[in-house]
Amino acid sequence: MTPRTTFHADTPLQALLLEQALLLAQQLQATADAAPDGQVLARVEALAVPTARELARLAVQATLQAQAEQAEKKGRPAAPAPAAAACGTRTPPAATS
């Protein structure tokens, strides 16, 4: 029997990554076990590279989504409003002689 380890995720992103990493490990082990002699590396690599790339894409997407949600909750930071472009309502400077 294999030892069990408990993981604790503090954020939804961490939970997603833990879940996906454990799934990837299971898939890699199953692929290695099922691969014929001389094909283990090729088969495991063929699974690992695109799956790891997808995991990285999911991590980036989840990170950016969480960041966007936090920014929406906070609202835009207070800042001075930009001045309108000159539209002819400004008084010209006084003439000097």
The backbone torsions φ and ψ at residue 55, rounded to the nearest 5 degrees and listed phi first, read: -60, -45
Angstrom distance (rounded) from CA 65 to CA 68 = 5
Give me the tens of pLDDT residue by residue for the chain, a chain 97 residues long: 678 889 999 988 899 999 999 999 999 999 999 999 999 999 999 999 999 999 999 999 999 998 888 888 887 666 776 776 666 666 667 777 6
User: For the chain, what's the residue count?
Assistant: 97
Give the relative orientation of helices 12-34 and 40-74 as an angle to the nearest 10 degrees.
Answer: 170
What DSSP letter does each residue of 40-51 carry, written as one string? HHHHHHHHHHHH
Statement: the pTM of the whole predicted model exceeds 0.75 = no
